[in-house]
Amino acid sequence: MSPPSPIEAHPNLSDSAPVALSYELFPPRSPAAAETLWTTIRELETTAPDYVSVTYGASGSNRNTAVELINRLLLETTLRPLAHLTCVGNTPQELAGIIAELLDIGVRGILALRGDLPKDGGRHSDGALRYAQDLIELIRRVEQRRSALLCAGKIAVGVAAYPSRHPESPSEEHDVEVLLAKQRSGADFAITQVFFETEQYASLLTRARRAGVTIPIIPGVMPLTSLRRVTRLGELAGVEPAPALVERLAAADSDLERLHIGVDATVDLANAALDAGAPGIHLYTFNEHQSALEVLDKLALPRHNRPVTRRDTAARPQLAS
């Protein structure tokens, strides 16, 4: 048997990689919402996430607030933004302009999405980008034109992946084929839609790897701490939460009990995903920090040792164990 090569034997390479941590935020819709969001941002910053993603309203409705938030994150915080971008409602020329603007302000990661279609289904206009795959290719073209600015480096392009069938897709197999196509077009990683059954992430991972998808697939988990949020999620993402979770939330007597239920369910999902080999955890925060931080406290993720500011745990109510 030959001895291990110096590269294989290097101590840094024999360690398992730290688990990535990220949060999703959305641009505020009012000054009051902006104030809450910035409290959340400051709380989340103390956990030293690897990046925070900022959503983009399909149709570009919140383009200015999204870019403004990303700019402030870059200028005023230690956080690295991942900018969501959608095909729906923007011409390729407009999208190329937004991509260039994002790169110019310092963004180095974009989540390329088709976006949700308008309620009436919308009409696909001539020349518009139809799929997320088309947007990835556009991002790569703009990146190429700015390669000197990027020191000939690459920006990270992420895409959506679906543990349960996308509402418009004929099958889960088709979803995996689409994910493979997005990888071939230049996607570097994927973040999943929310899911509520512990085995769903592992099943997606198995199907994707069998089909040839090699990029990291990061599970997106959302603490569902109110029935209002459950309803909203159904409307937005077409994902039905587990009936048992809905029943438990409906039977709960207080906000604290609902918080406890939502956090525990999220921790179970995240742990199952980590057991299946998830390289990171992406927390959908709804711009609130309390449930995200409670999840994090209970997860004890094996993370890297980036310096963090200590957060004031006494300032928030503790959950009963």
Which range in 39-47, 92-100, 143-151, 175-183 contacts ligand FAD by CB under 6 A?
Answer: 175-183
Chain positions 61 to 90 lying near ligand FAD, rule: CB under 6 A, are: 84, 86
Q: How many residues bind ligand FAD (CB under 6 A)?
A: 24
Indicate the residue among 166 and 289 with the shorter CB distance to ligand FAD.
Answer: 166
8 A C-beta contact, residue 208 and residue 217:
yes
Q: What is the DSSP letter of 237?
A: H
* Residue 20 in the binding site for ligand FAD (CB under 6 A): no
How many Å apart are CA 114 and CA 162, to the nearest integer? 14
Using CB under 6 A, pick the residue from 181, 256, 301, 319 that binds ligand FAD.
181
Which range in 12-20, 53-61, 119-127, 252-260 contacts ligand FAD by CB under 6 A?
Answer: 53-61
R_g of the chain computed on alpha carbons: 20
Q: What is the DSSP letter of 131?
A: S
Residue 53, helix vs strand vs coil: strand
How many Å apart are CA 56 and CA 64, to the nearest integer? 10
Rounded (10°) angle between helices 199-211 and 172-184: 60
* Residue 203 in the binding site for ligand FAD (CB under 6 A): no
How many Å apart are CA 156 and CA 153, to the nearest integer? 10
How many Å apart are CA 71 and CA 77, to the nearest integer? 10
Nearest distance in Å: CB 54, ligand FAD? 8
* Residue 160 in the binding site for ligand FAD (CB under 6 A): yes
Using CB under 6 A, pick the residue from 76, 94, 104, 168 that binds ligand FAD.
168
Indicate the residue among 89 and 262 with the shorter CB distance to ligand FAD.
Answer: 89
Indicate the residue among 8 and 120 with the shorter CB distance to ligand FAD.
Answer: 120
Burial class of residue 293 in the structure, from the number of CB atoms within 10 Å of its CB (0-12 exposed, 13-18 middle, 19+ buried)? buried
Residue 73, helix vs strand vs coil: helix
Which range in 149-157, 160-168, 201-209, 239-247 contacts ligand FAD by CB under 6 A?
Answer: 160-168
Cα–Cα distances in Å, from 293 out to 19, 101, 190, 279, 316?
16, 32, 23, 19, 10
Q: Residue 119, Cβ neighbours under 10 Å: how many?
A: 7
Using CB under 6 A, pick the residue from 95, 132, 217, 221 that binds ligand FAD.
132
Indicate the residue among 44 and 136 with the shorter CB distance to ligand FAD.
Answer: 136
How many Å apart are CA 313 and CA 147, to the nearest integer? 43
Indicate the residue among 234 and 302 with the shorter CB distance to ligand FAD.
Answer: 234
* Residue 287 in the binding site for ligand FAD (CB under 6 A): no
Nearest distance in Å: CB 316, ligand FAD? 26
* Residue 207 in the binding site for ligand FAD (CB under 6 A): no
- Structural tokens at position 227: 């029935």
* Residue 38 in the binding site for ligand FAD (CB under 6 A): no
182's enclosing H/E stretch is: helix 172-184
86's enclosing H/E stretch is: strand 81-86
Using CB under 6 A, pick the residue from 40, 47, 55, 266 that binds ligand FAD.
55
24 is catalytic: yes
* Residue 245 in the binding site for ligand FAD (CB under 6 A): no
> What residue ranges bind ligand FAD (CB under 6 A)?
55-56, 58, 84, 86, 111, 113-116, 131-133, 160, 166, 168-169, 174-175, 178, 181, 191, 193, 220
Q: Which residues are catalytic?
A: 24
